[in-house]
Amino acid sequence: MPTKTLKDLFIHSLSDIYSAEKQMTKSLPKMARASSSPDLRAAFEKHLEETLGQVQRIDQIVETSEVKLKRVKCVAMEGLVEEGQEQIEEIEKGPVLDTALIAAAQKVEHYEIASYSSLIALARQLGETGAAKLLAETLKEEKATDEALSLLAEEKVAAEAMGK
Ligand SMILES: [Fe+2]
Ligand SMILES: [Fe+2]
Protein backbone atom coordinates (compact mmCIF):
# COMPACT_ATOMS: atom_id res chain seq x y z
CA MET A 1 0.00 0.00 0.00
CA PRO A 2 1.57 3.33 -1.01
CA THR A 3 1.88 6.21 1.43
CA LYS A 4 -0.56 8.94 0.36
CA THR A 5 -2.24 10.43 3.40
CA LEU A 6 -1.02 11.63 6.79
CA LYS A 7 -2.61 8.51 8.25
CA ASP A 8 -0.52 6.36 5.87
CA LEU A 9 2.54 8.31 6.94
CA PHE A 10 1.68 7.75 10.60
CA ILE A 11 1.31 4.01 10.02
CA HIS A 12 4.55 3.86 8.06
CA SER A 13 6.46 5.79 10.74
CA LEU A 14 4.98 3.70 13.53
CA SER A 15 5.93 0.50 11.68
CA ASP A 16 9.43 1.87 11.20
CA ILE A 17 9.96 2.68 14.89
CA TYR A 18 8.47 -0.70 15.81
CA SER A 19 11.20 -2.33 13.75
CA ALA A 20 13.77 -0.01 15.36
CA GLU A 21 12.67 -0.98 18.88
CA LYS A 22 12.72 -4.67 18.02
CA GLN A 23 16.27 -4.30 16.76
CA MET A 24 17.25 -2.59 20.01
CA THR A 25 15.87 -5.46 22.10
CA LYS A 26 18.55 -7.59 20.43
CA SER A 27 21.31 -4.99 20.44
CA LEU A 28 21.06 -3.71 24.04
CA PRO A 29 22.01 -7.07 25.65
CA LYS A 30 25.14 -7.13 23.46
CA MET A 31 25.99 -3.58 24.48
CA ALA A 32 25.48 -4.48 28.14
CA ARG A 33 27.80 -7.47 27.82
CA ALA A 34 30.46 -5.34 26.10
CA SER A 35 30.44 -2.72 28.90
CA SER A 36 33.17 -2.75 31.54
CA SER A 37 31.59 -0.12 33.75
CA PRO A 38 28.91 -1.66 35.99
CA ASP A 39 26.95 1.61 35.84
CA LEU A 40 26.93 1.56 32.06
CA ARG A 41 25.91 -2.11 32.00
CA ALA A 42 23.08 -1.32 34.41
CA ALA A 43 21.95 1.59 32.21
CA PHE A 44 21.76 -0.68 29.16
CA GLU A 45 19.91 -3.37 31.11
CA LYS A 46 17.44 -0.83 32.43
CA HIS A 47 16.83 0.53 28.95
CA LEU A 48 16.33 -3.00 27.63
CA GLU A 49 13.44 -3.41 30.08
CA GLU A 50 12.02 -0.06 28.98
CA THR A 51 12.43 -0.97 25.32
CA LEU A 52 10.41 -4.15 25.81
CA GLY A 53 7.68 -1.95 27.30
CA GLN A 54 7.93 0.43 24.35
CA VAL A 55 7.29 -2.45 21.94
CA GLN A 56 4.23 -3.34 24.04
CA ARG A 57 2.97 0.24 23.85
CA ILE A 58 3.01 0.06 20.06
CA ASP A 59 1.19 -3.31 20.24
CA GLN A 60 -1.36 -1.56 22.43
CA ILE A 61 -1.84 1.24 19.88
CA VAL A 62 -2.44 -1.38 17.18
CA GLU A 63 -4.96 -3.22 19.35
CA THR A 64 -6.94 -0.13 20.30
CA SER A 65 -6.99 1.79 17.00
CA GLU A 66 -7.55 1.26 13.31
CA VAL A 67 -3.84 0.92 12.74
CA LYS A 68 -2.31 -2.12 11.08
CA LEU A 69 1.46 -2.17 11.03
CA LYS A 70 3.39 -2.70 7.80
CA ARG A 71 6.31 -5.05 7.47
CA VAL A 72 9.15 -2.57 7.18
CA LYS A 73 12.70 -2.70 8.39
CA CYS A 74 14.15 0.44 9.93
CA VAL A 75 17.35 0.70 7.90
CA ALA A 76 18.50 3.75 9.85
CA MET A 77 18.52 1.72 13.07
CA GLU A 78 20.11 -1.18 11.25
CA GLY A 79 23.01 1.14 10.32
CA LEU A 80 23.35 2.53 13.85
CA VAL A 81 23.34 -0.97 15.34
CA GLU A 82 25.93 -2.12 12.81
CA GLU A 83 28.25 0.76 13.66
CA GLY A 84 27.98 -0.04 17.36
CA GLN A 85 28.66 -3.70 16.66
CA GLU A 86 31.75 -2.84 14.62
CA GLN A 87 33.16 -0.94 17.59
CA ILE A 88 32.49 -3.85 19.92
CA GLU A 89 34.52 -6.02 17.55
CA GLU A 90 37.32 -3.51 16.97
CA ILE A 91 37.92 -1.98 20.40
CA GLU A 92 39.31 -3.90 23.35
CA LYS A 93 36.96 -4.10 26.33
CA GLY A 94 37.66 -1.18 28.68
CA PRO A 95 37.10 2.55 29.14
CA VAL A 96 37.62 3.43 25.47
CA LEU A 97 35.00 0.91 24.35
CA ASP A 98 32.68 2.15 27.11
CA THR A 99 32.98 5.67 25.74
CA ALA A 100 32.31 4.42 22.20
CA LEU A 101 29.27 2.48 23.44
CA ILE A 102 27.85 5.57 25.12
CA ALA A 103 28.27 7.54 21.90
CA ALA A 104 26.66 4.77 19.83
CA ALA A 105 23.75 4.51 22.27
CA GLN A 106 23.20 8.27 22.25
CA LYS A 107 22.98 8.25 18.46
CA VAL A 108 20.23 5.66 18.82
CA GLU A 109 18.42 7.71 21.47
CA HIS A 110 18.58 10.84 19.33
CA TYR A 111 17.13 8.95 16.39
CA GLU A 112 14.33 7.67 18.60
CA ILE A 113 13.66 11.11 20.10
CA ALA A 114 13.33 12.59 16.60
CA SER A 115 11.10 9.73 15.44
CA TYR A 116 8.77 9.80 18.45
CA SER A 117 8.52 13.60 18.38
CA SER A 118 7.32 13.48 14.75
CA LEU A 119 5.01 10.56 15.49
CA ILE A 120 3.38 12.37 18.41
CA ALA A 121 2.80 15.46 16.25
CA LEU A 122 1.25 13.27 13.54
CA ALA A 123 -0.92 11.39 16.04
CA ARG A 124 -2.22 14.69 17.43
CA GLN A 125 -3.01 16.01 13.93
CA LEU A 126 -4.93 12.82 13.24
CA GLY A 127 -6.85 13.05 16.50
CA GLU A 128 -5.25 9.83 17.75
CA THR A 129 -4.98 11.14 21.29
CA GLY A 130 -4.62 7.74 22.93
CA ALA A 131 -1.70 6.89 20.67
CA ALA A 132 -0.15 10.31 21.23
CA LYS A 133 -0.29 9.77 24.99
CA LEU A 134 1.36 6.35 24.83
CA LEU A 135 4.04 7.60 22.45
CA ALA A 136 4.74 10.54 24.76
CA GLU A 137 5.47 8.09 27.59
CA THR A 138 8.05 6.40 25.40
CA LEU A 139 9.55 9.73 24.34
CA LYS A 140 10.03 10.61 28.00
CA GLU A 141 11.97 7.37 28.55
CA GLU A 142 14.16 8.00 25.52
CA LYS A 143 15.00 11.51 26.73
CA ALA A 144 15.77 10.27 30.24
CA THR A 145 18.03 7.56 28.81
CA ASP A 146 19.87 10.11 26.70
CA GLU A 147 20.40 12.30 29.78
CA ALA A 148 21.59 9.36 31.87
CA LEU A 149 24.10 8.46 29.16
CA SER A 150 25.35 12.06 29.01
CA LEU A 151 25.89 11.97 32.74
CA LEU A 152 27.78 8.67 32.53
CA ALA A 153 29.97 10.11 29.77
CA GLU A 154 30.79 13.16 31.88
CA GLU A 155 31.50 11.10 34.99
CA LYS A 156 33.79 8.82 33.02
CA VAL A 157 35.72 11.71 31.50
CA ALA A 158 36.11 13.30 34.94
CA ALA A 159 37.23 10.01 36.52
CA GLU A 160 39.79 9.41 33.80
CA ALA A 161 41.13 12.95 34.03
CA MET A 162 41.80 12.21 37.72
CA GLY A 163 43.65 9.05 36.73
CA LYS A 164 41.09 6.60 38.09
FE1 LIG B 1 13.11 2.93 22.31
FE1 LIG C 1 15.89 4.11 23.40
Helix/strand/coil for 74? coil
CA of 107 to the centre of ligand 1 (A): 12
CA of 12 to the centre of ligand 2 (A): 19
Closest ligand (CA of 142): 2
Please enumerate, as own/partner, the contacts of 58-63 that have beta carbons within 8 Å and a separation of 24 or more. Answer: 58/14, 58/17, 58/18, 58/21, 60/134, 61/14, 61/128, 61/130, 61/131, 61/134, 61/135
**What does the alpha-carbon distance between residue 124 and residue 89 come to, in Å, rounded to a whole number?**
42
Give the model confidence (pLDDT) of 111-129 as tens digits. 999 999 999 999 999 999 9
Whether the per-residue pLDDT at 134 is higher than 70: the answer is yes
Q: Check residue 163 and give its pLDDT.
A: 67
Residues in the chain, total: 164
Give the model confidence (pLDDT) of 57-93 as tens digits. 999 999 998 789 999 999 999 999 999 999 999 999 9
Q: Is the pTM of this model over 0.85?
A: yes
The CATH fold assigned to 6-161 is Ferritin (1.20.1260)
Whether the per-residue pLDDT at 149 is higher than 70: the answer is yes
Return the closest-CA partner of residue 120 out of 103, 105, 137: 137
Rounded mean pLDDT of the chain? 95
| pLDDT band for position 156 (cuts 50, 70, 90) | confident
Domain boundaries, the chain: 6-161
Residues with CB under 5 A from ligand 1 (ion): 21, 51, 54, 112
**What does the alpha-carbon distance between residue 45 and residue 20 come to, in Å, rounded to a whole number?**
17
